[in-house]
Amino acid sequence: NAGVTQTPKFQVLKTGQSMTLQCAQDMNHNSMYWYRQDPGMGLRLIYYSASEGTTDKGEVPNGYNVSRLNKREFSLRLESAAPSQTSVYFCASSLRPIEAFFGQGTRLTVV
Amino acid sequence: ELKVEQNPLFLSMQEGKNYTIYCNYSTTSDRLYWYRQDPGKSLESLFVLLSNGAVKQEGRLMASLDTKARLSTLHITAAVHDLSATYFCAVDITGNQFYFGTGTSLTVIP
């Protein structure tokens, strides 16, 4: 049972490049999330998806887009990366009211 | 705007001592979660608190929830080095959004 799987684990981008972070869960959870973690700021919600076919903005959605491809997969896209998007990105999934389960994270650096 | 505040942000304590981490939140919720994160790692679930007065214990950690005061506590008893980590509380507002506190970085000194 893999849980929540994120790819890639590490990525370096140049300013203006685009990329997609992939996330898949095998726990049959309805809800999926994308967070970013920056030093001293905890985790901030970027986007979430309450169910297949729906997505909603979180606290810090600017500069990002998401796709809930199916129940298992939720991707995060950076169309034009900026240095301010250097962060660690976590994908998570949950089935209310249980807790959210997190992937291993993607460490992204934008130079 | 929802605020989830933890204090202290940094905690250095000696092995064998007791201490409490506090998590205050600014809106109504009866669901609160505690997570642990080791450096460079993902988040690991510790406790799920789903009602007012809920208390959960696992080893040297005990968590409680007071929804009327909008306060949760994580109590550490007789700390050991292995408990060194960052601890986060998270509040579930709508069932689809987990809002996290800024974390408490705990260092247990031998």
Full pLDDT tens readout for chain B, 110 residues: 789 999 999 999 999 999 999 999 998 887 899 999 999 999 999 999 988 899 999 999 999 999 999 999 999 999 999 999 999 999 987 777 889 999 999 999 98
Q: Which of residues 13-72 of B touch A (CB under 8 A)?
A: 31, 33, 35, 41-43, 45, 48, 50
CA distance B60 to A15: 46
Work out whether strand B104-109 and strand B10-14 pair parallel, antiparallel, or are unpaired.
parallel
SS3 B100: strand
Burial of A88 per CB tally in 10 Å (0-12, 13-18, 19+): middle
Of A48, A97, A103, the CB nearest to B97: A48
What is the predicted pLDDT for the residue at A93?
95
- Tell me which chain B residues have a C-beta less than 8 angstroms from the C-beta of A43: 43, 88, 90, 100
What is the predicted pLDDT for the residue at A43?
94
In B, minimum Cα distance to A105 occurs at B42
Across the range A32-44, mean pLDDT stands at 92
CB-based contact, A88 to chain B, within 8 Å: no
Tens digit of each residue's pLDDT (9 = 90 or more) over B79-104: 999 999 999 999 987 777 889 999 99
CA distance A15 to A110: 6
